[in-house]
Amino acid sequence: QPEQLVRIFTDTPPYRFPFSVADYLALSSQQTTFTRIAGYADRPMTYTDGRSAERLRGREVSWTYFDTLGITPELGRNFTAADGKPGAPPAVIVSHQFWQQRLGGTPDAIGRAIRLNSVDYAVVGVLPATLGPLETRQEYFVAARWDTPRRKGPFFITAIGRLPDPAKADVSVAELRAINKRLFPVW
């Protein structure tokens, strides 16, 4: 149901900006009009298998990302709230291509550790071979562990939401403006 999906920006007309961590955390805790919301940011990292290293395209995503998009891993599981908590063990969901080319395409890849930017990430899922436009060309997705920041910036998170009724988007827009109005004086 792609007609239910929307991209959410912070805006100062005529400009639109990505979210900061503070904006995203406020949205996720205060919104009531979306069935689901999620955030993501590009996060290229270096993958090494112990013999060679390569720079790969990937994303850091909120634990709600794949549920918001309606994607279920082919193997393993989606991220959970526990994966998104600061201090949680690093978790990754890999693309079907990454799984086949770098992990041998075997089911025992689930639970294995892969090394990204010198950190071991546990593989918790493998995505289906066919994906939507947001996942294409991405090799992996790491669970974001965004914690309340000391300042509002930087602005790097793309927020998406799923509306229960796209015809009533104006209700969500009004709620988003109210959240922004409450948040602005704090920062």
| Beta strand residue intervals within 43-177, DSSP E | 45-48, 53-56, 58-61, 75-76, 91-94, 113-116, 119-126, 140-143, 155-162
pLDDT tens sequence for the chain (187 residues): 888 898 988 776 777 888 889 888 888 888 888 999 999 999 999 999 989 999 999 999 999 999 999 999 999 999 999 999 989 999 999 999 999 999 999 999 999 999 999 999 999 999 999 878 778 899 999 999 988 877 777 889 999 999 988 888 888 888 888 877 777 655 5
CA distance to 68, 70, 166, per residue, from 142 (Å): 16, 17, 29
Beta bridge partners of 59: 42, 141
Q: Are 44 and 138 in contact (CB under 8 A)?
A: no
**Is the backbone peptide bond immediately before 149 cis, with ω within 30 degrees of 0?**
no
